[in-house]
Structure formats: C-alpha cells, structure tokens
Structure 1
Amino acid sequence: MNGSPLGQALEWMADPARWTGPSGIPARMLEHLGYTALGVLVAALIAIPLGLLVGHTGRGKGIVVMAAGAARALPTLGLVTLFALLMGIGLTAPLLAFVVLAVPSLLAGAYSAVESADPATVDAARAQGMTEMQILTRVEIPLGLPLLIGGLRGATVQVVATVMLAAYVGNGGLGRYIFLGLGSQDYPQMIAGSVLVIALALVLDLLLLGVQRLTAPRGV
C-alpha cells in the first residue's frame, strides 16, 4: 500500500467495493447532491424574489445587506448543532443551516443583477409604456442574468462544501466517510471523503461558471 496518506486515500477510493451498494461512493454522492439542491432551492425561493424586489425598487437595501452580512458570519456547524438540539436528529436541522448559508449569496446576486441594468435602458423601457413587472422581467433580469447566476454559483459551492455536516447529525452524503473515518481513526477514509467533496465542489463551480458565461449578453 502507498505510504502517503493521499495515496492510501486513492487506494481506498479505487476499491471496487466502494462503488456499489447504499454506502458506495455513487449513492453517497447522489445524497450529497440532493441535500445541496434542496438547500439551494429553498434558499432561492426566499432570497431571489426579495433580492429582485430590493434591486428594482431600491427600498430596504441597507437592511438586506446588513442581514446578509450577519448571516454570513454565523458558524454553520453551530447552526446545525443548535437546530439538531431544537428539532432532533434528521434532515430538517442541517437543511435550515444550509438555507441560512445560501441566502446571502443568492440575495446579493439577485439585487446586484437588477442594479447592474443601464438606467438609460430602464428609463427608455419605462417611456415606452412597459409596466414595472415587464421592465423587471424583460429588461433588468436578462441584462443582469450573469450576476444572478454568479450568486447561484457562490451559494451552490458554499453549500456543497458544507453539506458534509449533514452526517454530523446522522444523515448521509459524502460527510459520512469523514465522520466514520474520524470515529474509527480510518484516515484514508477521511481523506477520501474530503477529496470527493472538493472534487464535487470544483465540478459544480466549473459547470455554473460555464452557464454564467453563456448567459452574458453579447458585447458584455
């Protein structure tokens, strides 16, 4: 066996037994992606409409920025532990923590997207008789879509890197390898779990970066 910790972790991952069954790498990765998607989706349903409203009207921006900054400062592990104590073991506690983590990036992306629209273009649309909703959906959002996707990208990467904490309160995902390895002092398993989380975060980041570039208006 390779003597280096990383080499041992790679050998652990290369074992065919690690790629089958409910505890195999594909199953754990799907669980990890599911938790990530759920957390980001719930956060998006809250943050994006609010961010678009703030960006379009300019009202409440100071409060929103302050609240988003405060949410960024909260320790995710502390939130998971607190919610688990209040709600018990299960998916609800980590999911709430992931939502809190994702909201600031999505919120900032949404109001920045709307604010980035050229005021002259917005005024021209208003002069043509477009309603405020039409201006928002046909002018401001299309022009600012790369920034909106950028907020989604930031939130997704943050959450996917933190979803391993779901295993801290008895759930699945790639974090299971990290916490099981920690409990049994199986360091190759711990490193393998960490490598898999990092690799997944990088892949998602690159995919969303590609989407962000594709959504940029021509000439931008």
Structure 2
Amino acid sequence: MSCDNISVTLHYNWEGEWDTEPIAYRRRSIVTNTIVNGRITKVVVGSAISWESGFENEIYSTFPIFSTLGAWHEHCTEHSICNGPNFDYFTVDPETRGRCFGATPAAPSAPFLSGASSPPPKRKKEMCCPCDVIATMIERTMAEKARQSEIIKDHIDQRFIEALKNINQQLGAIDIDLDLDPVIKEIRQVRTDLWNGLGGQE
C-alpha cells in the first residue's frame, strides 16, 4: 500500500440485513475532554493516521490507534457493528485500488445467503464519551442533587421553627384559669381510700 489517505467500504450484516460503512485510513485530530469553568470542553492534543469509520474526524486520546485494517476490524467485532471475518468483507473502488494498492486480487463478492442460518447477534455500540468524562458528569449531577436536597431540608426546618413560634405565640395569648382545688381534693381522697378503705379518714 502506497497511500496514507484511502477509503474502503465495509460490508456487514445487521439484524439479517446487509449494510455498508466507509472505513478510512487518514490523519485525524486526537482530542480529550477537560473541564473549563465548570463545563466539559474538547481540546485537541495531537494527530495520528489511523483506520477508523469515515464518519469520524477525530479520535479521543483514550481510544486505540489502528495502523492496520485487520486490527480495526478485530476491535469493531468486539465492540461495535462488525460480525467477524466470516461475515464481513471489504471492497475498494477501482480508482483507489489502482492508486494505492497496485496489482491486487479482485475483491470478493457478497456471500451467498440461503436464509437458512440465523443472523449474527447484535453488537454493542461504543460509548460516546470516555469513562473519565462520564464519571465526572455523574459526580457533578449527584453533587447538585445533594445540594438541592440540603436546600430543601433547610427550608423545611426553617418553616417548622416558624410554625412552632406561631403556636407558642397563640398559646401565650390564651388566658387559662382553672380551679385545681377539687382535683387535688379528689386525689387526696383516692389516696386515703387506698390506705384506709372507702370513707376512711386521713
């Protein structure tokens, strides 16, 4: 291969249907996420030539760099849409083949599908962000929820204190005038009856 900016077409089976995606070997920016003024900001930290989906223009610094199409396809099989070498194949347009590959065997044709076999299992997609970015986002969300809960708790405590003060003022305004002498006399009589029997004297 004599080119560092080429594109091939991946043919893969997705849920029983064949689909295609451009896979390019070209230079891309290497980026990382950092927090600036409380916001996640993407920063370019370098560049590299790597096999990757033609739709991707940048690579996160935590992602691997693929110098061969085989290495990229193996990673794709484990983490993304690819189904493995027994299912997927690549094609190259004639112009790119003559410019970059020289004399090479003809590209394989699409495999014969009899419909008797079941489609390959659906592959999991890669996460959109590195793990450290996701962890930071979750941490900030939990911290904000804790802060809001503390504000609500303080508000409830303050309202409770105000309600107690209001009740205290209302009780202070009530004039309670009770004659407790009959109650005291009755208690003394019950005590006397317990010791001396009914009608007994102290």
Length-normalised TM-score, structure 1 = 0.22
More strand by share: 2
- Of the two structures, which has the highest relative contact order with CA contacts closer than 8 Å and spacing of 6 or more? 1
Length-normalised TM-score, structure 2 = 0.23
More helix by share: 1
Higher alpha-carbon Rg: 2
